[in-house]
Amino acid sequence: MTHLDAVPLWVALPAALLLVLGSGLTLLGAFGLARLQSFYDRLHAPTLGTSWGTAGIVLASVLLFSWLEGRPVLQELLIGVFVMLTTPVTLMLLGRASLHRDRAEGSAAVPPAGNARPADRGTAGADGARGAATPPAWP
């Protein structure tokens, strides 16, 4: 712990707060992932970890490394920007895949595709015989 003892208190306190905030939010998100009831509820829980969980740990890392190296170390922000850009993409795709699977099975837990976009109707109408006939709902 030699390199951490040299850090002044005004850097250490915000960094420690950000670390505890980020890791605590990530733990809460994973707890929600394990505890929530339906899949569409569980889809929201890990975003705690990818929004402020990642942001807290990345900001703490930027703060500490900038002081330790004596220059602005901003490359950790790259991870934060990347995670914040990719998480909505992956979770929207996963949610649409799950909705597609539930509708294909005729599950009663999801609303039917009656008021969806016109492009979605092709896959929802043909329940059992989804084959080469209908174009993909998702491009």
Partner 1 sequence: MSGTILALALGFAQVALGLAGGLAVLTILRGPRAQDRVLGLDTFYVTGMLLFLVTGLRSGSLFFFEAACVIGVTGFVATVALAKFLLRGEVIE
Minimal distance, residue 93 CB to partner 1, in Å: 4
Given 41, 101, 126, 127, the residue binding partner 1 (CB under 8 A): 101
Given 41, 88, 90, 106, the residue binding partner 1 (CB under 8 A): 90
The CA distance from 21 to 18, in Å, is 5
Give me the 34-73 binding string for partner 1, x by CB under 8 A, dash otherwise.
x----x--xx--x--xx--xx--xx-xx--xx--xx---x
The CA distance from 134 to 127, in Å, is 11
Q: Please, how many CA atoms are within 13 Å of residue 13, restricted to the half-sphere of its CB?
A: 3
The CA distance from 122 to 106, in Å, is 15
Handedness of CA 21, 90, 99, 115 (dihedral sign): positive
Under DSSP, the state recorded for 32 is H
Binding residues for partner 1 (CB under 8 A): 1, 3-9, 11-13, 15-17, 19-20, 22-24, 26-27, 29-31, 33-34, 39, 42-43, 46, 49-50, 53-54, 57-58, 60-61, 64-65, 68-69, 73, 75-76, 78-79, 82-83, 86, 89-91, 93-94, 96-98, 100-101, 136, 138
